[in-house]
Amino acid sequence: MSRVAYRIPSITASISFLLIAASAGVAQTIHGLPREGRGGDTKVNTRVGRPAAGKQEYTRYCAGCHGDHGDGVGENAQWIEPRPRDFTQAVFKCRSTLSGSLPTDQDLINTVRRGIVNSNMPQWRPLPDQMQADLVAYIKTFSPRWATEKAGTPVEIPPETPVTTESILAGRAMFQKFECWKCHGTAGRGDGPSASSLTDSKDQPIHPYDFTTGTRFKCGTTNADLYRIFMTGLDGTPMASFADNIKGDQGWDLVHYLRTLQPIRTPESILWKSWLATHASELKPIGPESGGR
């Protein structure tokens, strides 16, 4: 996080101070399994946001990146990759709601608290709950969509199924069938055949997530967050929603497989390693030639 302060000399001293305070409270690398609530990422906040109060805080903490008019071109934006979000479009990556729809206020508050890993979007957990609600209320004034549309329908996430070899194998077959490997690579390294040519909705180059180095996601840390990500998709990016293809408990199979690709010890990776030790030769490689196992 302090990297942000170094790379952006013009950012005000108060912001750099806050960034350091924010990063001190949280281990950036999680060894072991991130579970619900780990790191205080999310917290229910039902306070009513006040846009006018939010404006002041926004100007102080957010405008340097997101711009006074919310268009994503604050004075620091030119140095930042990926670029700060343009709020005038009301297109958000992290939602609990279906692709193409607006996120809930709680979704936006979760993002503000959590920050966005692998980007310059800081964590704002130290800000009081009321201030977080005010900021979100103000962000929503930048696009007329919020005046005419309601937040979308939340994606339903059934209770997690047990972690079994069968579940992991079924998830592996889905990784093959739904061609996740085309972007994320056959081993999840983010180096699939389509990876180098991808752009986001603002024509900026964008890279698929590398599971083999990533412990957290832009939109969360838990198994349920992971389930939600491929069901909602990351709007404005080539990471589409798979809600039309993946139903109910099937999603957990994919989650269980994706967890085996990450560099963290999880129940999934422990089970998978021990299974592979005696069964690796039974697997067909993932990729264009294969139909999975």
Three-class secondary structure of residue 163 per DSSP = coil
DSSP assignment of 53-99: HHHHHHHHHTHHHH-TTSSS--TTGGG-SSPPP-GGGT--S--SB-T
Q: 286 CB contacts (<8 Å, ≥6 apart)? A: 172, 175, 176, 181, 186, 187, 292
Instruction: Compare residues 13 and 277 and give the one whose CB is closer to ligand HEC.
Output: 13
Beta bridge partners of 88: none
Report in angstroms how near the CB of residue 164 gets to ligand HEC at its nearest: 19
Find the shortest distance in angstroms from Cβ 198 to ligand HEC. Answer: 5
- Judged by beta carbon, residue 171 or residue 281, the one nearer ligand HEC is 171
Task: Say how far apart CA 212 and CA 204 lie, in whole Å.
Answer: 24
Smallest distance, ligand HEC to C-beta of residue 91, A = 7
Nearer to ligand HEC, 121 or 170 (CB): 121
Q: Which is nearer to ligand HEC, 246 or 278 (CB)?
A: 246
Q: How far is the CB of 69 from ligand HEC (least distance, A)?
A: 14
Q: How far is the CB of 224 from ligand HEC (least distance, A)?
A: 12
Q: How many CB atoms lie within 10 A of CB 264?
A: 16
CB of 195 to ligand HEC, least distance (A): 8
Buried b (16+ CB within 10 A) or exposed e, 173-189: bbbbeeebbebbbbbbb
Nearer Cβ to ligand HEC (261/271): 261
* Residues forming the site for ligand HEC (CB under 6 A): 4, 61-62, 64-66, 76, 80, 82, 84-85, 92-94, 108, 111-112, 116, 119-122, 124, 135, 139, 178-180, 182-184, 194, 198, 206, 208-209, 217-219, 226, 229-230, 234, 237-239, 242, 254, 258
Which residue, 78 or 278, has its beta carbon nearer to ligand HEC? 78
- Whether the bond into 82 is cis, omega within 30 of 0: yes
